[in-house]
């Protein structure tokens, strides 16, 4: 798949998994445009990777997203791959109202669900209009398939996005746009570190390097039009269970996805 990816827009690529993928794509000689909300992190990344293009945007500012998409697609009309990465993960107990706030719940849903859906709504028509093979990718989580109680909203938001991608894949069947879900297990990133002190439940973490290597082994050797959920580690267990259950029901109904 990666051999056919030439100009890649990474929405949220200044840290963690996003940054690791950006660095791997850069080594492969891909043209890259990376967005992030922290200008300092964008500047740091650009100074370390020659030829990298950066663009400052904040996914939590929902009203600004359509204009950002318009600007990016106009400025970089050769984009063939859009990868929406990043999100917010909040650990709290549903039994303790003091462990979260209404604002934090709304922010987590807006960042993890509303923003990706809005971005997809505006990017897909552009990708369809190119007429050439294109890819739309979103990072979800193994917790979309195997939820744990420490992250009640996070798990639900990632499950939402998984189902959204399945439906979008069904709608785009037969077109030039491939819909691919990246479903990581628990990866040792800033996100993981921030919550280890709060909750140690769930599967063990794997290193960013290990996750990147295993994911790119799939991406490098897979055909984009045939890839659906790309998962490793415990996340693959969840994907396999979903594909062997609900996935088979959809196939039986000739819906696919």
Cα–Cα dist 26/234, whole Å: 28
Q: Which of 55, 76, 151, 154 is the catalytic position?
A: 154
Segment holding 31, helix H or strand E: strand 31-36
Rg of the chain over Cα atoms, rounded to whole angstroms, equals 18
E runs forming strands in 88-245: 134-139, 177-183, 229-231
Enter the DSSP assignment of 222: S
Enter the DSSP assignment of 224: G
32-38 contacts, C-beta under 8 A, 24 or more apart: 32/7, 32/8, 33/7, 33/8, 33/9, 33/72, 33/76, 33/79, 34/10, 35/9, 35/10, 35/11, 35/68, 35/72, 36/12, 38/14
Q: Which residues contact 214 (CB under 8 A, 6 or more apart)?
A: 232, 233
Question: Residue 113: which of 67, 159, 65 has the closest Cα?
Answer: 159
* Phi and psi, residue 108, nearest 5°: -65, -40
55 classed as catalytic: no
| Helix (H/G/I), strand (E/B), else coil: 81 | strand
Would you name the residues annotated as active-site residues? Answer: 154
């Amino acid at each position: 798949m990666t051999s056919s990816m030439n100009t890649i827009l990474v929405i949220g690529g200044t840290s963690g998994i996003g940054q690791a993928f950006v660095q791997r794509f850069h080594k492969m000689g891909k043209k890259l445009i990376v967005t992030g909300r922290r200008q300092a992190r964008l500047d740091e990344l650009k100074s370390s990777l020659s030829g990298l293009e950066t663009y400052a945007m904040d996914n939590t500012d929902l009203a600004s997203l359509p204009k950002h998409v318009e600007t990016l697609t106009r400025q970089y009309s050769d984009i063939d791959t859009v990868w929406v990465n990043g999100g917010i993960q909040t650990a709290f107990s549903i039994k303790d109202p003091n462990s979260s706030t209404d604002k934090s719940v709304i922010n987590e849903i807006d960042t993890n669900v509303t923003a990706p859906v809005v971005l997809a709504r505006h990017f897909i028509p552009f990708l369809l209009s190119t007429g050439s093979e294109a890819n739309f990718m979103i990072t979800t989580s193994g917790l979309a398939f195997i939820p744990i109680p420490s992250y009640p909203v996070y798990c639900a938001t990632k499950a939402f996005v998984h189902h959204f991608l399945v439906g979008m894949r069904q709608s785009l069947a037969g077109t030039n746009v491939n819909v691919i879900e990246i479903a990581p297990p628990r990866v040792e990133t800033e996100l993981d570190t921030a919550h280890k002190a709060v909750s140690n439940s769930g599967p063990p973490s794997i290193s960013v390097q290990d996750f990147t290597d295993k994911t790119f082994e799939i991406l490098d050797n897979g055909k984009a039009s045939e890839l659906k959920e790309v998962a490793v580690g415990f996340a693959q267990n969840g994907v396999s269970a979903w594909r062997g259950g609900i996935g088979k029901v959809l196939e039986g109904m000739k819906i696919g996805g």
